[in-house]
Amino acid sequence: MGNARTFILMAVMTALLMGLGALLGGRGGMMFALLFAGATNLWAWWNSDKAMLRQNDAVELTPESGGDLLALVRELADNAGLPMPRVYLLPTDQPNAFATGRNPANAALAVTAGLVRLLPRDQLAGVIAHELAHVRNHDTLTMTVTATMAGAISMLGNMAMFSRNNRGGGLLAMLVAPLVAGLVQMAISRTREFEADREGAEIAGQARPLAGALASIASAAGQVPNLAAERNPASAAMFIINPLTGGLRGLFATHPPVEKRIARLEAMDLPAQGISGFPRVGR
């Protein structure tokens, strides 16, 4: 159901993009918008991980600089049936994390310095397992394409504002199109987050540590700014918890309510396990 809903929402976003193109230039504009969407998505497919990591000033960890963390990621990746991703540290005090990359073979996992300092090992493992679930489900590509299309829709909406062919619809397009795109992006993100919580708990063999991690991250993320994310709010959906603060946090509500996520995790019936010796659930 989650995959079907995501497909439908992506189709809605594509239709919105083509509608804006038609408003700008009739049938020719619609075809231009479709080609533009294809080109931007192709760029995102090849370069999304590099762009996301660069925007967040990520530093790749080596065995010397991140030995314990790399060992934990390797253990969880093996349990999930995934190749070892590249692991990065983000130099921000806000506790958070995201995964990126076009497929599991080219995945990258990024955690913030604040996350490593704040969470005990079992909760950190839950967060990493959540991100690995995104990788296994190819959510990293889906969310990157969604963010790229949302940005394209906003740009075309602004162009429609100044089009001589819009017959008064440009202002409406400029206001409504980005709003609708944002709502669709939010709906896709929420669908994928619930699924990643469930699968992440299975990968880690425990649900309650991830629930505790979400509560701790949500509490701190609303107070500690993440300047890189504030500069690029369209990337907020990539993080495990909305990284934006203040007014932007409500405007870009890309995640399900953390209370609902915690309740679902606490309702899961998983046997208590240590960090080592996870039950194998890889596909």
Is 131 catalytic? The answer is yes
CA 266/CA 166 separation, integer angstroms: 51
Phi, psi of 97 (to 5 degrees): -165, 155
Rg, Å, the chain Cα set? 19
CA 221/CA 132 separation, integer angstroms: 21
With a CB cutoff of 8 Å and minimum separation 6, the contacts of 277 are 205
Candidate list 60, 64, 131, 266, residue with the active-site label: 131
* Tokens coding 102: 């076009």
CA 98/CA 150 separation, integer angstroms: 19
Binding site for Zn(2+): residue ranges?
Answer: 130, 134, 193
**Residues acting as catalytic residues:** 131
